[in-house]
Structure 1
Amino acid sequence: LPDGRMSSRHARLQRVLGAWMIEDAGSKNGTFVDGKRVTTSPLADGALVELGHSFFVFREALPSAEPALLEQRALKPLARGMASLSPAFALELERVATFAHSQVPVLVSGQTGTGKELIASAIHQLSGRPGPFVAVNCGAIAPNLVESELFGYRKGAFSGALEDRPGLVRSSEHGTLLLDEIGDLPLAAQAALLRVLQESEVLPVGGTRPVKVDLRVVAATHRDLGALAAQDRFRRDLLARLDGARIMLPALRERREDFGLILSALMAKTGEMARDLIFSADAARALLLHSWPLNVRELEKCLASAVLLARDGRVELEHLRETLFDAPKPAAPPQGVAPEGLREADRRLREQLIELLRANGGNVTAAARTMGKARTQVQRWLRRFEIDPASFIR
């Protein structure tokens, strides 16, 4: 490896009593596992190993295949957003890509910010469908507007309906419709959506004749739809229709080997200032060891901040402290709000949300009104803190 800080004989990897161990071989600059210098250390699956200024992710469990085949599958991008250096995840992406040319619905599951919309867009690219890719956040639409927004309406259907509107479903004609946060869709709208999937037709609000539609549906959620169905909060027949092929997106902290791929894609997306950024070893270590509770979305925000602070094009650890609350601390504490203070603010906000939901019987709109915030902002907080408002319904 072209790393001047790595010794020619730096470390040994060996299996001892059924466990993988790494042993420093008397290297000049030391061997580090998950940010800590070690002489000898066991390696857990996903451990970050640092030799010189080079970083490695240790993986013990890999699919059974020839190494060359694993490498080919891992490095081959199926479409923008569908590539992985993890052979296991690359095989999963390859499996989903085979469904892209069919009408089989795809259900994408994963935590908030893991890139569900990016995967759905990649499926649309691979499908070759000539129509548009339309992404809809079901949780961001007011419950009383869901049906008119999704399925459209006829002139005069209600006060303010001054003209016919096709709705988001018909806007994705000959294309792909992503129903993000499908678990937040009201039951009445679920019944209408089931008709779209079963009959390939939509009935606008105020209409008497259904309209035929040709589209591909991809659903995405961070919730357990099976559990919601068991509680009669999600239609079982709709779940059966949506769950044709399923992909579970790992959290960013579980995809350490893909960090370079993801970061490069975000750098290209951010613009000219980000494309030639160089990261110091301390900065790279902090990024790789961070827990990323908000996943790729948090990394994107972190990168945007670093671009502005790293004026010479080199990102140092100090440029990440604004966004990496649990990054390694410097010898002298930084000025301003400490990371612990930021976490305390999050804790207070979470407690306030729980208190308001309990007082309002799980009514998100009422909680948002009390806080003086938009309903969509409160929903983002609820997803971030993994609070289910339905659990407060009396």
Structure 2
Amino acid sequence: MNLGRGSERRAEKAGTELSIKVPDKWMSSKHARIEPSFGRWVLVDTESKNGSIVDGHTTKRAVLTDGSLIELGHTLFYFFERMPIEAEAPALLELTPNDADPGLVTLMPSWQSELLRIRQIASSEIPMLIEGESGTGKEVIARAIHSLSGRGGAFVPVNCGALPENLVESELFGYKKGAFSGAQQDHPGLVRAADGGTLFLDEIGDLPASSQAALLRVLQEKEVMPVGGTRAVAIDLRVVAATHRDLDEMVAEQQFRHDLFARLAGFRIMVPPLGERRGDLGILIGALHTRLFPAEHPGFDIDAARLLLRYPWPLNVRELEQALATAQVLAGNELVRAEHLPDTVRSGRPPGAPRPVVLSEMDQKVRDQVVAALREHQGNVSAVARALDKDRKQIQRWIKRFGLDPASYR
């Protein structure tokens, strides 16, 4: 694969070779080449003017690993050994802002296969349970499922963890006038509001045990009895639930009803954390940029883009959205620069991460030697020990002390 500057973004196939051109004035016309070497992929700088950077290191030749971040000029690339693209597909995949729905679009193979199944199930009546860490975009996926379902009713989100325990049933199922003090008129409730549409039960694992039986009856009988009522009301709704908790464990410990779990978990979706979807960062940043910034906004400078792509995003899509919202306020209509991003993103240190230890001059020399050896031996700790003539356990102690990750050098 050849990478270089061109008048427009395009990809050209010639036999087994692929050439990608990018309109970046900081790139050389023949900037770099990616080629196989002894079962690995390597990037070779082909005498570019501004050099090539792989995972933060300027290089003439570097072994690429799955997820390597490549910087050529002012253009950033992620390298992945396997992508979900058919052999006959176009060499260059373009996503417009309308295509880049962060809910059901991905470039990651494992997540793509799951999204295809979600699209197939979405138009059915099968209840769906979305599981994953906080901030991974479970509600975005639920809204996308509703859009694909063809149901004409409303999408009604309910945060089960935010409902006061003594008001859960009246909020969900409604109440009749006079049912309790303060019930001065009939209230249909959230379940009936979703009639004909989709009821999204977010944080279902936080639903009080006392209300789980009542919800189970509603789902089984497809009718709801308002608090203080004498006649049930028939309903037609699709239920999508979500949680960051381990419902299997909660069922085993009798903290969550097994029959309600069986009713909700018709089709289970495990949403990967953003750290496992690094190839989708461009899609997500593009979609959020379109939503948060003015239509004519110029975008991001190279330093800001590099920081966004290198940050680990432990708090997932929610953290990314907040970072871009902050940048929008600070940058206004100007190009987003590094100074507009939150301190955590600029420092590369997530919230709660330990602050870096200040090393002595001697320790810094040792760390530099270990890093150089890890890079030379591609993260092989045994090879590093031999090269430095040290015991392997000593190398491991240094690696732990200096906060190094051998896998990042492979």
Asked if TM exceeds 0.5, the reply is yes
Instruction: Give the residue type in structure 1 aligned to 2:46.
Output: A
Q: CA deviation at 1:239?
A: 1.7
The answer to whether the aligner puts 1:113 opposite 2:132 as a matched pair is no
Which of 325, 347, 360 lines up with 2:344 in the alignment? 325
Which of 216, 219, 223 is the equivalent residue of 1:197? 219
1:248 is displaced (CA, Å) by 2.2
Paired with 1:197 and 1:71, the residues of 2 have a C-alpha distance of 46
The structural deviation recorded for 1:25 is: 3.2
Question: Which blocks of at least 5 consecutive residues in structure 2 are unaligned?
Answer: 1-21, 356-410
Which of 250, 254, 258 is equivalent to 1:232?
Answer: 254
The partner residue of 1:26 within 42, 47, 63 is 47
Classify 1:300/1:243 alpha carbon distance in 2 versus 1 (closer, same or farther; 3 Å): same
Residue 152 of structure 1: aligned partner: 174
Q: 1:46 to 1:15 in 2, by over 3 A?
A: same
Secondary structure (helix, strand or coil) at the match of 2:231 reads: coil
Structure 1 residue corresponding to 2:310, chosen from 275, 281, 289:
289
Alpha-carbon distance in structure 2 between the residues aligned to 1:341 and 1:18: 38
TM-score (norm: length of structure 1): 0.76
Distance 1:340 1:18, change over 3 A: closer
Partner of 1:82: 104
What TM-score, normalized to structure 2?
0.73
Greater displacement, 138-147 / 67-76? 67-76
Tell me how far apart the structure 2 counterparts of residues 29 and 134 of structure 1 sit (CA, whole Å): 53
Q: Quote how far apart the aligned CAs of 1:310 are.
A: 1.9
Tell me if structure 1 keeps the 8 A contact 2:297–2:333. no
CA change 1:183–1:290 in 2 (3 A) is same
Higher helix share: 1
Equivalent residue for 2:187, pick from 165, 188, 208: 165
Alignment of 1:349-388 (within 5 A): none
Change (3 A) 1:196 1:256: same
Counterpart position of 1:367: none
SS in 2 for 1:229: helix
**CA-based RMSD:** 2.9
Report if aligned partners of 2:293, 2:328 keep a CA contact under 8 Å in 1: no
Identity score, percent: 53
Sort the Cα spacing of 1:285 and 1:171 in 2 relative to 1 into closer, same or farther, 3 A: same
User: Could you say if the C-alpha distance between residues 23 and 235 of structure 1 is closer, same or farther in structure 2, counting changes exceeding 3 Å?
Assistant: farther
Which structure is larger by alpha-carbon Rg, 1 or 2? Answer: 2
Give the direction of change, closer, same or farther, for the CA distance of 1:73–1:50 in structure 2 (3 Å limit).
Answer: closer
Judge conservation of contact 1:73–1:87 (CA < 8 Å) in 2: no
CA–CA distance in structure 2, aligned partners of residues 27 and 192 of structure 1: 68
1:316 aligned onto 2:337: yes
- The residue aligned with 1:332 is none
Q: Is the 8 A contact 1:74 1:83 kept in 2?
A: no
* Aligned counterparts of 2:167 and 2:283: Cα–Cα separation in 1: 39
How much does 1:145 deviate?
1.6
The correspondence of residues 10-89 of structure 1 with structure 2, limited to 5 A, is 10-63=31-84, 65-68=86-89, 77=99, 81-89=103-111
> Is 1:34–1:49's contact at 8 Å kept on the other side of the alignment?
yes
- The question of whether the paired residues in 2 share the 8 Å contact of 1:114 and 1:297 is answered with yes
The 1:306/1:158 distance shift into structure 2, 3 A limit, reads same
1:237, distance to aligned residue in structure 2 (A): 1.7
Please tell me whether residue 278 in structure 1 is matched to residue 299 in structure 2.
Answer: yes
| SS at structure 2 position matched to 1:104 | coil
CA–CA separation in structure 1 for the residues paired with 2:314 and 2:222: 38
Encode CA deviations 1:145-194: one digit per residue, 9 max, x unaligned: 21211111233333222332211111111011111111111122222221
SS at match of 2:175: coil
